[in-house]
Amino acid sequence: MKALVLEQQDKATLAEVKEIALPDMAAGDVLVDISWSGLNYKDALAITGKGKIIRQFPMVPGIDFAGHVSRSNDPRFSVGQSVILTGWGVGETHWGGLAEQACVKGDWLVALPEGLAARNAMIIGTAGFTAMLCVMALEEAGVTPESGTVVVTGASGGVGSTAVALLHTLGYTVAAVTGRESTHAYLRKLGASEILSRDDFAETRPLEKQVWAGAVDTVGDKVLAKLLAQTNYGGCVAACGLAGGFNLPTTVMPFILRNVRLQGVDSVSVPAERRAAVWERLLNTLPEDFYQQAATEITLEQVPAVAADFLNNKIQGRTLVKIG
Ligand code: NDP
């Protein structure tokens, strides 16, 4: 099969499209013919070698994919069935989705929800799945459209843009934080009614004027610290990313004086039942025009160059890799 293969030479990561053979299938494994894969920030860190995502080489990257079952050693999945996969360390510790085929544990697969096209499932991908987890975290913390404005950071990226679209569709007033003026029109189309510059988030005091009922943060570091200082009494910040860095230069003040909740969001190890519920909500919430405006399509051969663009903040929305 054709795959993007990562190898390491003199501590540098090399990425090349090659013909390779998958290992033999074990009990519980499912072989999937991949039709679409997504490109995510984590893939970009892995492919460029800028992040320590992969420790075992050679590795096929790709943390999410959609396709059809080709062979199955798991009674829950039959040949021809449409499936999706996000997370579980696939593309990190286990050969992933930037390939014509993947051999994965049946436990890691989700049946493609009826009514969702495989291409649209990958426009959502890990990023959109994570965005919905963040929205659900805010809902579970009691943040409603009536609570006030919800702010999304890294708004024009994959997670951010899907979060803006989801929140807007669910009736929230959405503010978007972006570092790029070129994305303002896109963000307004997705449903942002207010756009703030990332530069406004460079400095913060322990507590600031209360402005946000909730927040979805994909950036971390000083941006997350400022969000916490500006969150309303009893509000919630759902933190899922580190596009701006993994530090968190904050104080306990928002927590002990304003009852602010900082909710971490992980998409990799979400239990199967919640996964299915998240996909169902994505299918029922995202409007049709989201799929038309939120994706750029590339080939497997273009992946290494586009991965570099991710880390240079040149990507807007979701990047889809056409495989089959
Ligand atoms: P993208 O690259 O698509 O989006 C990231 C966005 O962050 C960019 O579009 C940009 O938005 C902003 N950004 C980029 N560089 C910086 C910077 N130096 N400082 C501040 N903001 C910056 O990535 P994804 O949407 O795929 O992922 C976003 C983050 O979420 C990543 O850190 C990723 O690792 C994390 N993530 C976590 C998951 C989990 O399970 N917890 C799952 C999926 C993603 P703009 O130009 O609009 O400012």
Cα(243) to centroid(ligand 1), Å: 4
**Position 43, amino acid:** D
Report the helix count and the strand count for the chain, using DSSP H and E.
9, 15
Report phi then psi at 65, rounded to 5. Answer: -160, 165
The pLDDT assigned to 244 comes to: 96
ipTM value for the complex? 0.99
What number is the average pLDDT over the span 59-76? 98
Quick check: pTM over 0.95?
yes
Show the tokens assigned to 254: 């928002």
CA 191/CA 170 separation, integer angstroms: 11
Tens-place pLDDT, residues 136-168: 999 999 999 999 999 999 999 999 999 999 999
* Placement of tokens 């054709």 in the chain: 2
- Quick one: angle between helices 272-285 and 118-140, nearest 10? 100
Among the atoms of ligand 1, which is closest to the Cα of residue 44?
2
> 282: Cβ–Cβ under 8 A, 6 or more apart, which residues?
116, 124, 128, 129, 132, 166
Which atom of ligand 1 has the smallest separation from the CA of 176? 47
Query: Which residue lies with its CA nearest to atom 20 of ligand 1?
Result: 244
How many angstroms separate the most distant Cα atoms in the chain? Answer: 59
CA angle at 218 for the pair 213 and 220, rounded to the nearest 5°: 90
DSSP 8-state class, residue 218: S
Ligand 1 atom with minimal separation from the 161 CA: 25
Token couple for 312: 């240079």
Output the CA 79–ligand 1 centroid distance in Å.
36
Q: Mean of the per-residue pLDDT values for the chain?
A: 97
Q: Give residue 25 CA to ligand 1 midpoint distance, Å.
A: 35
Determine the pLDDT at residue 293.
87
Task: Out of 156, 159, 181, give the residue to mutate to test ligand 1, the one with the largest number of ligand atoms within 8 Å of its CB.
Answer: 159
Identify the pLDDT of residue 11: 87
Tokens 């993007």 label which residue?
Answer: 4
